[in-house]
């Protein structure tokens, strides 16, 4: 797969599967050349699993264990049909717990989106940690955080990128991104309305200025997502608080 400055292979060895990423610069995002190497530097601080990395003539490469499963957006395809069954709140809990676990380790993901939530038999994994913040990254692999996939950015992140060209991701912006990921996965709609052909700056301006779409999801999931996507960061629940609340409504 080739996607926004990264080529990805699923590689089989005699006893394991690896995700091998090779980064290269793009005109819009030259930092993607460093992303695979930076992600391995993050993973080495979070897990004791086998990781490998290096450089090539156009950037860096990295190999990590392959996470088997289905992305949240793909898994919830039936919920975007009519009539739609209610989402499984255990699946919601597994996604929130993965984020809460990362936050307990004092890391911030910075790039949460439905494609980065993988649900499988071995559990739920948050993948694609190239933009994560929280530990020491070698200067040769580091780069400024300039936002993530805009559809899931919190208002304060979009506003900062527009004003300064960069932002500082937080636990609160992670929670917002997870809420917007749950919202689009169950409804098929972005958390803020803007034209499909809007350029990135106009998308960010719509997110920064608001308003959000109303969260009209039946059952307990609607109010929960609404709380995660509150526009003021200080008013959002933490991932741990969401984990505590979910078992009460299961």
Query: What is the residue-level pLDDT of the chain in tens, covering all 250 positions?
Result: 888 899 999 999 998 999 999 999 999 889 999 999 999 999 999 999 999 999 999 999 999 999 999 999 999 999 998 777 789 999 999 999 999 999 999 999 999 999 999 999 999 999 999 999 999 999 999 999 999 999 999 999 999 999 999 999 999 999 999 999 999 999 999 999 999 999 999 999 999 999 999 999 988 999 999 999 999 999 999 999 999 999 988 7
Residue matched to tokens 């989106």: 113
| Fold (topology level) of 70-249 | Transferase(Phosphotransferase); domain 1 (1.10.510)
pLDDT at 81 (0 to 100): 87
pLDDT at 249 (0 to 100): 82
pLDDT at 82 (0 to 100): 79
pLDDT at 250 (0 to 100): 75
pLDDT at 85 (0 to 100): 79
Asked if 137 and 75 count as a contact pair (C-beta separation under 8 A), the reply is no
Asked if 61 and 37 count as a contact pair (C-beta separation under 8 A), the reply is yes
Q: Give the neighbor-by-neighbor strand order of the sheet with 2-3.
A: 2-3, 6-12, 17-23, 59-65, 52-56
pLDDT at 28 (0 to 100): 85
Distance (Å) of CA 137 to CA 35, 42, 65, 146: 12, 7, 21, 17
pTM of the model: 0.96
pLDDT at 86 (0 to 100): 84
Region(s) of the chain under CATH 1.10.510.10: 70-249
Radius of gyration of the chain (CA): 18
pLDDT at 170 (0 to 100): 98
23 forms bridges with which residues in the sheet? 6
């Amino acid at each position: 797969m080739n996607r926004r400055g990264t080529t990805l292979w699923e590689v089989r060895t005699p006893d394991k599967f690896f995700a091998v990423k090779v980064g290269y610069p793009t005109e819009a995002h030259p930092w993607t050349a460093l992303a695979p190497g930076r992600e391995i530097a993050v993973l080495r601080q979070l897990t004791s699993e086998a990781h490998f990395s290096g450089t090539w003539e156009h950037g860096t490469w990295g190999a990590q264990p392959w996470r088997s499963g289905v992305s949240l957006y793909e898994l919830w395809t039936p919920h975007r049909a009519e009539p739609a069954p209610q989402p499984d709140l255990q699946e919601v809990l597994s996604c929130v717990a993965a984020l809460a676990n990362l936050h307990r380790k004092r890391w911030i993901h910075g790039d949460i989106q439905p494609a980065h939530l993988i649900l499988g038999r071995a559990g739920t994994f948050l993948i694609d940690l190239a933009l994560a913040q929280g530990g020491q990254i070698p200067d040769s692999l580091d780069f400024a955080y300039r936002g993530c996939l805009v559809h899931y950015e919190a208002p304060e992140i979009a506003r900062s990128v527009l004003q300064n060209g960069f932002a500082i991701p937080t636990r609160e912006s992670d929670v917002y991104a997870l809420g917007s990921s749950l919202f689009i996965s169950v409804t098929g709609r972005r958390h803020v309305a803007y034209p499909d052909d809007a350029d990135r700056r106009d998308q960010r301006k719509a997110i920064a200025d608001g308003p959000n779409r109303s969260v009209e999801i039946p059952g307990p999931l609607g109010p929960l997502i609404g709380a995660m996507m509150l526009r003021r960061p200080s008013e959002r629940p933490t991932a741990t608080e969401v984990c505590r609340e979910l078992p009460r409504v299961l």
